[in-house]
Amino acid sequence: MGFRTVVITKHVKCYYKNDYLVVQNECQKMIHLSEIDAVIFDTAAVTVTGVILSEMIKWKIAVVFCDERHIPSCYLLPLTAHFTSAKNIFEQMNWSQARKDYLWSGIVKHKIERQSLLLREEMFPENEILKKYAEEIQEADRTNREAFAAKVYFNALFGKDFSRDDESSINAMLNYGYSILISLVTKEVVSAGYLPQIGIHHCNEYNPYNLVCDLMEPFRPIVDQIVFTNRNKKELDLEIKEKFWGLCQLQFWYGNAKRYLSNILHLYVHECLTFLASGEIKELAMYEYL
């Protein structure tokens, strides 16, 4: 599994040579594909060969293209990323509601717990409210504790006037960070042979990432913490983008070992999908801050 995030921000030519990504402008840089976890094209002024795109897909590298506003707008996904894709998709269409409800309960619980930990770390007393909400989670989150927690959480971090619907620098940073996170989780879902469109809770017919949005929920506070630390910025600048480009290299405790976030997402998504397919799970593991 790769460990590098390659970001292209200038007019260059990218092509394939002997299992290397070659980036050519005034000088030449070569990176072995086995080392790459994600490639982000943050400019339209780039020439990319079809061969290197095809090879990056074979190596299960997340490929992200940004629009003219430098916001991720497109993810490159393989049509068949796993030898049992057809079998897995048939099973996905028939996942039991009981398993989906059970897993969603665990996901929401972990998300609220991580939100509470962030509030505690930043010395917000509201962390106790979220801690209580996490303890009250019912099957499939029937009492909608996730929504109650979100209101308390975002109001504490960014003020009572903050709304996720506002056009603000904070929302621009949150959306950018979440987009990078979506690309990383999507890669794992597709690589395992499942459709990102069919979720266990999210079911928006216009959302091509319903399952991804389900599974990524506990990891959103990682993005939130970066944004909170940079909340006084007036715009989504290069400095904050670079922090999000480095998400893969952030380290946490997971499964009694210190791991990179990219490795954690791989293990976590696999564990969730295995449970949905077989019902076999001991306890949904979750990352811990170092």
pLDDT of residue 80: 63
Query: Is the same domain home to 186 and 254?
Result: yes
Query: Is the same domain home to 17 and 134?
Result: no
Q: Are strands 12-17 and 46-48 parallel, antiparallel or unpaired?
A: parallel
Query: Is the same domain home to 159 and 21?
Result: no
Residue scoring higher pLDDT (134 or 282): 134
Encode pLDDT of 10-24 as tens digits: 999 999 999 999 999
- Alpha-helical segments (H) within the chain: 50-58, 85-92, 97-121, 127-135, 145-158, 169-191, 210-215, 220-229, 238-245, 261-278
**Cα dihedral 178/53/25/69 (nearest 10):** -30
pLDDT of residue 75: 84
List all residues 6 or more positions away from 9 whose beta carbon is below 8 Å from its beta carbon.
42, 43
Query: Is the same domain home to 20 and 105?
Result: no
Query: Is the same domain home to 70 and 121?
Result: no
> Quick one: tokens of 96?
């039991």
Select from 76, 104, 126 the last residue of a domain.
76
Question: Does residue 180 fall inside a structural domain?
Answer: yes
Encode pLDDT of 160-202 as tens digits: 999 999 999 999 999 999 999 999 999 899 989 899 999 999 9
Select from 37, 53, 76 the last residue of a domain.
76
Q: Which domain holds residue 140?
A: 85-278
Question: Does residue 285 fall inside a structural domain?
Answer: no
Number of domains in the chain: 2
Select from 28, 55, 76 the last residue of a domain.
76
DSSP 146-192: HHHHHHHHHHHHH-TT--TTS-SHHHHHHHHHHHHHHHHHHHHHHHT
Return the half-sphere exposure (C-beta side, CA atoms, 13 A cut-off) of residue 231: 10
Encode pLDDT of 3-62 as tens digits: 788 999 999 999 999 999 999 988 999 999 999 989 999 988 899 999 999 999 989 898
DSSP 99-120: HHHHHHHHHHHHHHHHHHHHHH
Cα 265 from Cα 101, distance rounded (Å): 21
pLDDT of residue 45: 87
Place of tokens 């597709």: 190
Query: Is the same domain home to 96 and 199?
Result: yes
Question: What CATH number is attached to the domain comprising 22?
Answer: 3.100.10.20
Return the half-sphere exposure (C-beta side, CA atoms, 13 A cut-off) of residue 249: 12
**Radius of gyration of the chain from its Cα atoms, rounded to whole angstroms:** 19
Cα 175 from Cα 177, distance rounded (Å): 5
pLDDT of residue 281: 66
Question: What CATH number is attached to the domain comprising 221?
Answer: 1.20.120.920
Query: Is the same domain home to 203 and 154?
Result: yes
